[in-house]
Amino acid sequence: MKTNSNGRRFFVGGNWKMNYSKLLLERINDTLRKTKDIDVDIVCAPPILFIRDFILSKPSHVQVAGQNCYHAKEGAFTGEISPEMLKEIGCTWVILGHSERRTLFHENDELLKKKIDYVLNKTDINVIACIGETLQERESGKTNEIVERQVRAYQEKISNDQYNRVVIAYEPVWAIGTGKVATPQQVQEVHERLRKFIEKNTNSDIAKKIRIIYGGSVNGSNCKELAQQPDIDGFLVG
């Protein structure tokens, strides 16, 4: 897993979600130390309260992300975190539009447009922009319609010179914890179409360079075949 012929460096993101313990931190760091000489971008997203613990103990080659943020620097937004706060504690990335944020907290395209607009234009933090369809949408044949709509929403706020700060993460909700597994071929088909869609709305150079990663129940038994697909540039795990 390394930079491919199109110049796209493989990307692995680890989303800890709402999980943390000292033992988990130690185990993750033990694993990360073994990746020092691997040609891969590694980004971990611990819960916000424990980011400092992780930063103080992680290997130097590992980057850090927030799991979410709001589209303002400060103010009366109880429970929210600003991109500036993430940067202050050492984050260089933020995850936006994760499927759990969309389904459990009802985040929609309009809100996510505000978030990515703020992050890219008010800070220097990079974005993992998540998209993905539900099982019902998949079975109704709406996969392309849904993911293209979600990408289009992000694209409305991304200028051509900002795509190098964005990674697209395709995470089909129907393949997460349902027992249904997306085949490498199914994932490749969506990624290839997404790349063509991005090219249509930007240019061929941006489409060739942007990384599109996969986040649907990636594990040790399927990651190798997934990584061999030409348009799968990494994983969002967790």
CATH number of the domain that residue 213 is part of: 3.20.20.70
In a domain, 41, yes or no: yes
Q: What is the spatial distance between Cα 207 and Cα 163, in angstroms, rounded to a whole number?
A: 9
In a domain, 166, yes or no: yes
Please give the positions annotated as active site. 98, 171
Mean pLDDT of the chain: 95
In a domain, 141, yes or no: yes
In a domain, 89, yes or no: yes
Contact assessment for residue 232 and residue 191, using Cβ atoms and an 8 Å cutoff: yes
Contact assessment for residue 212 and residue 192, using Cβ atoms and an 8 Å cutoff: no
Contact assessment for residue 70 and residue 122, using Cβ atoms and an 8 Å cutoff: no
In a domain, 205, yes or no: yes
Q: What is the spatial distance between Cα 169 and Cα 129, in angstroms, rounded to a whole number?
A: 6
- pLDDT score for 182: 87
Q: What is the spatial distance between Cα 49 and Cα 65, in angstroms, rounded to a whole number?
A: 12
Q: How many CA atoms lie within 13 A of 223 on its CB side?
A: 14
Contact assessment for residue 69 and residue 82, using Cβ atoms and an 8 Å cutoff: yes
Q: Which long-range contacts (CB under 8 A, 24 or more apart) does 23-30 make?
A: 25/50, 25/53, 25/54, 25/57, 29/57, 29/58, 29/59
Q: What is the pTM of this model?
A: 0.95
Collapsed DSSP state (helix, strand, coil) of residue 132: coil
Domain coverage including residue 109: 11-237
In a domain, 151, yes or no: yes
In the chain, how many domains are there? 1
Residue segments in the chain with a per-residue pLDDT below the cut of 50: 1
Q: What is the spatial distance between Cα 137 and Cα 159, in angstroms, rounded to a whole number?
A: 29
- pLDDT score for 4: 61
In a domain, 51, yes or no: yes
- pLDDT score for 217: 82
